[in-house]
Structure 1
Amino acid sequence: MLPWASLLFLGVPGHAPMLPWASLLFLAAVGGHLAAAPKPMISLHPPWTTFFKGEVVTLTCIAPRVRAAGNIKWYRWYLGTEMLCETPGNTLKARVSGRYKCQTQDSLLSDDVSLIFSSGWLILQAPHSVFEGDTLLLRCQVKGREKLGTVKYSWNGKVISTSDKGQDLLIPQASLNNSGHYQCIGFLERNYTYKSSNRIIKIQELFPRPKLEVTPPQPTEGGSANLSCHTRLPLERPDALLSFIFFRDRGVMLSNWSRSPELQITAIWREDSGSYWCAAAAGVPSIRKHSLPMQVRVQGVPVSAVLLETQPQGGQVLAGERLVLVCSVAEGTGDTTFFWHREDTGESVGSKRQRSRRAELEIPAVRGSHAGRYYCTADNGHGLARSGALNVTVTGHPGEGGLVYSEIQVIQLGQEAAAPSSLSLSSSSSISFPPQHTSVVYSSVKTQLPEDSAREVRSQDEDAVESYENVQFA
């Protein structure tokens, strides 16, 4: 299918219409200050580059910034000869063929504009420059007062339109595919046929394919990354509006369309690794270009300096109280798996996986069996690291003591010389004393913690020595 799906025709008016590129003014502001352009530009009025001999075209040298008033230098090249002239203003009336350039004070030479003044009977008029999205207007003109009947336009040797009203050819939104060789054929009312010379028309890019830049090129997990979609507008189209969008892999949209060519990712992770690309679009919906994909690999930082701590500190805890084993790393990114182990038994006591440098394992109520040596390990996929071992001791309290035995000493009054008698009773034993004896009773309750029979039995409670008179023990 030829790129002529939509063609419009305009009747030949009494004068050429003023096209958007007939007069160009380039002013660029950077930080509130005018930015000097590297070179001026030439605009044409009328906007064509082909004329009949004897006609006149006005060239205007447009400089973004002129430091001081002065003459404009004009250069013309024709058949290998260079000619120079100066004008007090920025315009020049051109009547002869050649390549024209202009120069202001302290500026570079402008791009050239080629003008043709033809002696033929039929010419094809086209604008000097056409960008993507511009309206391409072609005009078939006959010399003198002759009138055209039917006009045919051809592109690369193929007829693309035929009109019996002598109309112009209008392509509303030109694309790069519309570049090529153009020619018009005019049929006069007196059955004369004329052909124009071939014109090469090149549709220029409004902006080149964007290029994606990622800073830093290999971001670190948890850090930020800045994406920039770079392209540029031509000097003739500084006011064109561009929009940008960013993607990852196959259609994962990272942003909406925006005027900003940059996107900042505040925190990037290993799973965000992949193929990144961006797209730029002009105000004309049909102009949209994608960057080449760029592989981004997010770098992880291995875990290091693993440390095991306890709450309460020091690893000493009372039986029945809460114990927290805290495993932390000094460095490490991404999801980290923490493991807790007992070194003395070799068993694993718990694990957690989370995006953190610190994790806790809680034992709600400690028992004597929890005493031992503990250590922890951490692994974020870049290698496993281990902490040093920490000793956990569990001490008892009265609420968990067990009665081992009761010791009761009986001293008979009036028998000082006799040695005191001592009896040991279990918690379920009972004793009877002989009647009619006054005695002093001293008792002591001995306890020890469960599962701790090897430890020294300790006195848990002592009763004060008390005298009992005329008391009979049954």
Structure 2
Amino acid sequence: MSPLTLMLLLFYECFTGASVRPVVSFLPNWATVFYDDFVTLTCNLDPNPEKEMRYFWYRDNEKMNQYDQSITIQSDRWKHNGNYQCQAGTSDKSDAVRLAISNDLVILQAPPSIREGDSLSLRCHSRLENNRGKDQFYKNGNLITTLASGSVYSLGNAAPHMTGTYKCAKLSVSSSVRNSKDKRIYVEGAGTKPVVSIKPQRSTALLMNFVTLTCIVTSTVPERWWYVWYKDGDWIPKEQKTFTLKHVQEKDSGNYQCQTPGSERSDPVRLDVEWGNFYWENAL
């Protein structure tokens, strides 16, 4: 990286009070696809002072042999399921974005993440040979619209009240019906930022040998279905609001963050594990 680029990145971090973090986008913009479908992932960094920048890709924290800004994945292997992150040069890792591969006959497709104000569209996608007929879309068990088969259902700009459990049904010309599985769609306000709490707190002896982390969110929408956790910027396989690290070791030291679908990532909270005791503090 050139000295000028480094200066621009440092200026950006100081001015905004935040580190530079890219965003992963999908094309087509669906989080669930069929086996053998193609999906292009792009690592977007704004601002990007160095136009010719090397990119790094990760799936479930495993570094991929990919160094271009955009990568195309043919979902012909189940290993392509996973949480994807990217880096642009020396940037922080992006938020994790999950790609799911399905072998169902009918799936409801939605964007991988939805924030308030985003354009929200759904599609009822099928591997059925007879794809003529109608598509029906349901929210919380209630029919909301019926469209021609293969149509994309546009709900307009996403708002928190659109949060709910959705599914779709394929109605063939012979009147047979095939339903997708339920899909939980969560629309989060763009400004919401959760907070990580760690217990026991400062200077507690490790006699109990466990630490509990909780993702605390203040929101007008009470129900949440899953959470995303990070340690030192890497996605970690925890989806619940609260989890416990049992028999804490020095390797568990690090900066912990959490996120709900569509929300900002929380500020990092540092856990330091030492021989005989541990303490925690805000990482900022």
Return the letter of the residue paired with 1:153: F
**SS at 2:90 equivalent:** coil
- CA contact 1:47–1:127 (8 Å) conserved in 2: yes
- Render the CA deviation track for 1:133-160: whole Å, top value 9, x for unaligned: 3331111111154314122211122222
Aligned to 2:62: 83
Q: How far is 1:179 from its partner?
A: 0.8
Mapped contact 1:131–1:206 kept (Cα < 8 A): yes
User: Normalising by structure 2, what TM-score?
Assistant: 0.55
Q: Higher helix share goes to which structure?
A: 2
- 1:93-112 deviation digits (Å, cap 9, x = unpaired): 22221111112232211111
For 1:338-377, what aligned pairs fall within 5 Å after superposition? none
The correspondence for 1:71, drawn from 26, 41, 54, is 54
The alignment status of 1:131 with 2:115, answered yes or no, reads yes
Name the amino acid aligned to 1:84: K
Identity across aligned pairs (percent)?
Answer: 28
Match of 1:50 among 22, 27, 32: 32
User: 2:134–2:171: 8 Å Cα contact kept in structure 1?
Assistant: yes
Q: TM-score, normalised by structure 1?
A: 0.34
Partner of 1:97: 81
Shift of 1:42: 0.4
Structure 1, residues 110-146: CA drift from partner, whole Å, max 9, x if none?
1111111211111111112222233311111111543
2:246 is matched with none
Cα pair 1:66 1:104 within 8 Å, conserved: no
Residue in 2 aligned with 1:161? Answer: 145
Report the AA paired with residue 54 of structure 2.
N
Partner of 1:446: none
Deviation track 1:420-441 (CA, whole Å, cap 9, x = no partner) reads xxxxxxxxxxxxxxxxxxxxxx
Task: Measure, in 2, the Cα distance between the counterparts of 1:172 and 1:142.
Answer: 23
Aligned to 1:38: 20
Moved over 4 A (4+): 33-37, 66-70
TM-superposition CA deviations, 1:42-63 (whole Å, max 9, x none): 0111111111110110101112
Return closer, same or farther for 1:41/1:173 CA change in 2, 3 Å cut-off.
Answer: closer
C-alpha distance in structure 2 between counterparts of 1:70 and 1:169, whole Å? 37
* CA deviation string 1:220-243 (max 9, x = no partner): xxxxxxxxxxxxxxxxxxxxxxxx
In 1: Cα distance, 2:163 partner to 2:148 partner: 25
> What letter matches 2:95 in structure 1?
D
Number of residues of Structure 1 aligned to a counterpart in Structure 2: 177
Separation in structure 1 between the aligned mates of residue 112 and residue 105 of structure 2, nearest angstrom: 21
1:61 aligned partner, one-letter code = C
Alignment partners' CA distance in 2, 1:61 and 1:183 = 30
Change (3 A) 1:174 1:70: closer
AA aligned to 1:62 is N
Kindly indicate whether structure 1 or structure 2 has the higher relative contact order, using CA contacts under 8 Å at least 6 residues apart.
2
Match of 2:125 in 1: 141
Tell me how large the CA RMSD over aligned residues is: 3.0
Residue 43 to residue 37, structure 1, CA distance change in 2 (3 Å): farther
